[in-house]
Structure 1
Amino acid sequence: MAAQCYIAISELHPNFSHPKVAGIVIGKIDVKSFPDRKNIGMDRFTFGFTIKDSPDFFINVAAWGNGGYINGLASSFSIGDCVIVENPLISTKDLEKGDKFCPTTPSHYRLLVMEAHSQVTLCSDMDTIERLLPLLHLPAKDPRDFYSLGDIVANGQQLDGSVINILAAVKLIGEPKQFTTRDGRKGQRLEVKLFDDSVSSFPLVCWDREAIQLMQTLIPRETVLFIADVKISFDSFRGGMVATVNSKSIVTVNPDTREASMLFNYAKELLASGALDEDEMSDDLSVDSITDMYTVSQLKQKAQENPEAFFGITYSFISKLDLDTSASKVIRTRCCRCKFLVTEDMQSCTNLLCPGRDQGFSATVGFDLLVDLTDHTGTLHACSLRSPVADKTLGCTTEEFTSLTDDERTAMKWKFLLERCKIHVKIFPSTKVKSGVKGVILACSLADPGEVKQHMSALLQ
């Protein structure tokens, strides 16, 4: 079908009869039902979506009807699909009523879809689809008008209750949690952890099924989001700020903007440098509070079933510990501010988005090892063992280590290699390693044989 058959969103007017609009779905909200005042005992069903047909124009569409029609229509397309809306009613927006709960659009109108006289179908015309697809990556608000996560944290409770735009990268996607309200309605909740060059972890909460489905398609650590009209509130339970996607929010995945491109490159470099893993170590969890015991295979299995990080103790052998390689592979220098790897002789950080680039450069030197943990159930490869945990485990500082002879380093290696150790670990998903599972060692010491026997027998039961 030729593009000229469609009316542009910018040209829509209530006087048009039988309009036909093609657009890409940039937002969608869940089906809801209300008691029908005209038919007592019956419910009316509705859901909304937002379509875009040019860089500057998009419009909200509301569909109304019985449960079968609305649920069927809602499940026939998703965010990112190109649709054709035929013969909708064009009405002027009412910002005092329903429209104040919908995304803010540049159009003066909204479209109403009714089963009796309107139709929404997936677009099958490739020319139209190719024209519309790039619009999916253009934010719904000015791409330079956003708060950094650092701005939100700095403003704190002053932003409580406000609706703002955020540009951030996805760090971790949690598991959806199902619940039932007191009045018997079923609901769901998903938490996503965001990061940028100013804050390493910030919570984003989704309650809407459509938003949750969108978030579950994203690749953590490789995706940047521009979220227009996200609600910011102070969470007294956490003692910090939290962002919530609501019915007004529009989430743009990997926006085609300069600012998003810089953040994407920052995330990519951060991932390559291992600094995101470094950050994973800095959780406010004391080692003493970790009590759950695991075999290596149990650690792997739980990590594959659970995308959120977790903690545990394993009684395993260290099967790889390269202490007798060159010191530069054992001891690394990192920027204090952004944790990027740097060479010792550098006078500044090479990370273009380092939050302290214009300030005095400071770096930390520490052990930076990848070790393998093995027990009777398998091997967990490439676990991070870094300072200060490594200093305590090995019983020496980096300065002392550099003055050791090759024989002394080999002797230190064999003190641990193939010895049963009690190891406290943090496990989390990682796209960097083949197994998809990454381990960070939080504490490691030679195990007491009696303790090992007691715990191993408990694990084997």
Structure 2
Amino acid sequence: MAAYVNISELHPNISHPKVVGIVIGKTDVKSFPDRKNSSTDRFTCGFTIKDSPDFFINVSAWGNDTYINGLSNSFSIGDCVTIENPLVATKDLEKGDRFSPTTPSHYRLLVTEAHSLVSPCADTETVELLLPLIHLPPKDSSDFYSLVDIVANGQKLDGSVINVLAAVKLIGVTKQFTTSDGRKGQRLEVKLFDDSVSSFPLVCWDREAIQLMQTLIPKKTVLFIADAKISFDSFRSGMVATVTSRSIITVNPDMKEASLLFSYAKQLLESGALDQDETPEDMPVESITDVYTVRQLKQKVQESPEALFGITYSFISKLDLDSSVSKVIRTRCSRCRFLASEDMLSCTNQLCPGRDQAFSATTGFDLMVDVSDHTDTLHACILSSPVAEKTLGCTTEEFTSLTEDERTAMKMKFLLERCKIYVKVFSSTKLKTGVRGTILSCSLADPGEVKQHMSALLQQH
């Protein structure tokens, strides 16, 4: 890296510096009316580069539409770039720099088409040295709030800018809109979680932040968000985090707390507890009235990240009541829903919120069933207690004392009869089909009711 000037050594008196770094943050292209010529616009974009664990600097580029948009499209967060002959300027915290990420450098770099050149770094040795830096948070890795801290502090944090560590639960759909003065915008909502809060909203308005979020794998990614803005959202009456032009997002940060959270997410994912979200979000069954075919349920849920509630008149086409009891009835930790055995003294989940408290477990039916009608099949729906007990008409104790023939008879009762099934369906990256269902209520259907709804559904097609 001899030909390059280190970011830590930059100062305004250096002539023709050549700087290299990995892009750790980037903001959208913006335009302003040119003060000297009001009929044209000036364009700008900003990014942040890092060349060592402790040093990074903001870069702003100015120029015409073609140059700035071309420059912005030529690299992304995570790419290594070489900047030749930028102007080294002292930061002005009163003006533009207060909207940029906080950096340890006293300076910032200015890039223009006439004087400077930004290009992908072609030196593979340098690139290999820079790549690991993308996983180092730009702030002290012990200086962050967990989601439970944010929720506990509530409105006291309204308007503050803090660092957040959390895992990605769900990435919503980007919504496009046009403002009253004709500017186009976009908004993406991501749901975060950690070992204490099962869902917390993070909102992105910047195209660059949205593109980064869209590359992430839900439930397998941990984020350290430096300088997220926290505000109270009166519409949801809860706290919400927002990514701003000052925020830098570190994906899967190289820090102990992040790897603990990553293992927690992995354990939850394997136990199925993430898909079974604790049910306060569930609608009361009596308020669910929309009737769907299985195909409609699957199509609708792929159009929206939100869970869909509906009724389907279908057959249970797979119901493994005659497999071993340990597959039908399971014990889970009552706090984190992690699989457990009845004789355990504590939860084996390292991040269970109740590890230091007396262990309490719940035992119940834990079935995966397939639901089918003439249009399609919804595979691997969760049917668990207490809904399963009501559906099957027996408790777990009664079930364990049934003979194999009695279990098979119970199974056949459902496989051949059409049922009225209330279901919650949501997208799940874990399943090949991309769709997961939870059965909220299931009973044998009234034939007259089935006929009425089936004719109505056929008329829709």
Q: TM-score, normalised by structure 2?
A: 0.97
Give the residue type in structure 1 aligned to 2:139.
Answer: K
- 1:258 CA drift (Å): 1.1
Match of 1:106 among 104, 107, 119: 104
Per-residue Cα deviation, 1:295-325 (whole angstroms, up to 9, x for no partner): 2222233334444432222221101111222
1:202 lines up with 2:194 in the alignment: no
2:229 maps to 231
Distance between the aligned counterparts of 1:116 and 1:309, measured in 2?
Answer: 52
1:56 maps to 54
- Which deviates further from its counterpart, 51-60 or 405-414? 405-414
Match of 2:320 among 319, 322, 342: 322
Structure 2 unaligned residues grouped into runs of 5+ = none
1:38 maps to 36
SS at match of 1:252: strand
Distance between the aligned counterparts of 1:378 and 1:418, measured in 2?
Answer: 16
> What are the equivalent positions in structure 2 for 1:24-423 lying under 5 Å apart?
24-279=22-277, 281-423=279-421
Contact in 2 for aligned 1:30/1:47 (Cα 8 Å): yes
Q: Report sequence identity in percent.
A: 80
Give the residue type in structure 1 aligned to 2:163.
Answer: N
Give the residue type in structure 1 aligned to 2:321.
Answer: L
SS at match of 2:141: coil
Per-residue Cα deviation, 1:357-413 (whole angstroms, up to 9, x for no partner): 011111111110000111112222111101122122222222232233333322222
Distance between the aligned counterparts of 2:122 and 2:262, measured in 1?
Answer: 32
Give the residue type in structure 1 aligned to 2:215.
Answer: T
Distance between the aligned counterparts of 1:130 and 1:311, measured in 2?
Answer: 49
Contact in 2 for aligned 1:281/1:426 (Cα 8 Å): no
1:15 maps to 13
Give the residue type in structure 2 aligned to 1:171.
Answer: K
- 1:123 CA drift (Å): 1.4
- 1:127 CA drift (Å): 1.1
- Aligned-residue CA RMSD in angstroms? 1.4
Distance between the aligned counterparts of 2:89 and 2:226, measured in 1?
Answer: 24
Match of 1:430 among 428, 431, 438: 428
- Which deviates further from its counterpart, 317-326 or 103-112? 317-326
Distance between the aligned counterparts of 2:104 and 2:15, measured in 1?
Answer: 22
- Which deviates further from its counterpart, 113-122 or 190-199? 113-122
- 1:281 CA drift (Å): 4.3
- 1:278 CA drift (Å): 2.0
Per-residue Cα deviation, 1:146-180 (whole angstroms, up to 9, x for no partner): 11111111111111111111111100000001111
Structure 1 unaligned residues grouped into runs of 5+ = none
Per-residue Cα deviation, 1:324-349 (whole angstroms, up to 9, x for no partner): 22222111111111110101111110
Give the residue type in structure 2 aligned to 1:326.
Answer: S
- 1:113 CA drift (Å): 0.7
Distance between the aligned counterparts of 2:223 and 2:309, measured in 1?
Answer: 29
Give the residue type in structure 2 aligned to 1:374.
Answer: S
Per-residue Cα deviation, 1:101-143 (whole angstroms, up to 9, x for no partner): 1000011100011111111111122111111111111111111
Distance between the aligned counterparts of 1:411 and 1:174, measured in 2?
Answer: 43
- 1:251 CA drift (Å): 0.3
Contact in 2 for aligned 1:231/1:245 (Cα 8 Å): yes
SS at match of 1:416: helix
Give the residue type in structure 1 aligned to 2:410.
Answer: M
Distance between the aligned counterparts of 1:291 and 1:106, measured in 2?
Answer: 57
Contact in 2 for aligned 1:149/1:202 (Cα 8 Å): yes
1:446 maps to 444
SS at match of 1:459: helix
Distance between the aligned counterparts of 2:207 and 2:87, measured in 1?
Answer: 27
Per-residue Cα deviation, 1:14-72 (whole angstroms, up to 9, x for no partner): 00111111111100111111111111222111111000111111000011111121111
Distance 1:282 1:414, change over 3 A: farther
Distance between the aligned counterparts of 1:288 and 1:70, measured in 2?
Answer: 56
Give the residue type in structure 2 aligned to 1:84.
Answer: T
- 1:355 CA drift (Å): 0.8
SS at match of 2:2: helix
Give the residue type in structure 2 aligned to 1:245.
Answer: V
- Which deviates further from its counterpart, 240-249 or 289-298? 289-298
- 1:289 CA drift (Å): 2.9
1:5 maps to 3
Give the residue type in structure 2 aligned to 1:121.
Answer: S
Q: TM-score, normalised by structure 1?
A: 0.97
Give the residue type in structure 1 aligned to 2:405.
Answer: D
Give the residue type in structure 2 aligned to 1:429.
Answer: S
SS at match of 1:350: coil
SS at match of 2:44: strand
- Which deviates further from its counterpart, 311-320 or 182-191? 311-320
Distance between the aligned counterparts of 1:289 and 1:116, measured in 2?
Answer: 65
2:458 maps to 460
Distance between the aligned counterparts of 1:129 and 1:166, measured in 2?
Answer: 28
Aligned residues: 459
Give the residue type in structure 2 aligned to 1:55.
Answer: P
SS at match of 2:27: strand
Contact in 2 for aligned 1:175/1:308 (Cα 8 Å): no
SS at match of 2:156: helix
Distance between the aligned counterparts of 1:74 and 1:293, measured in 2?
Answer: 48
Give the residue type in structure 2 aligned to 1:371.
Answer: V
Distance between the aligned counterparts of 2:369 and 2:93, measured in 1?
Answer: 60
- Which deviates further from its counterpart, 407-416 or 20-29? 407-416
Distance between the aligned counterparts of 1:51 and 1:312, measured in 2?
Answer: 49
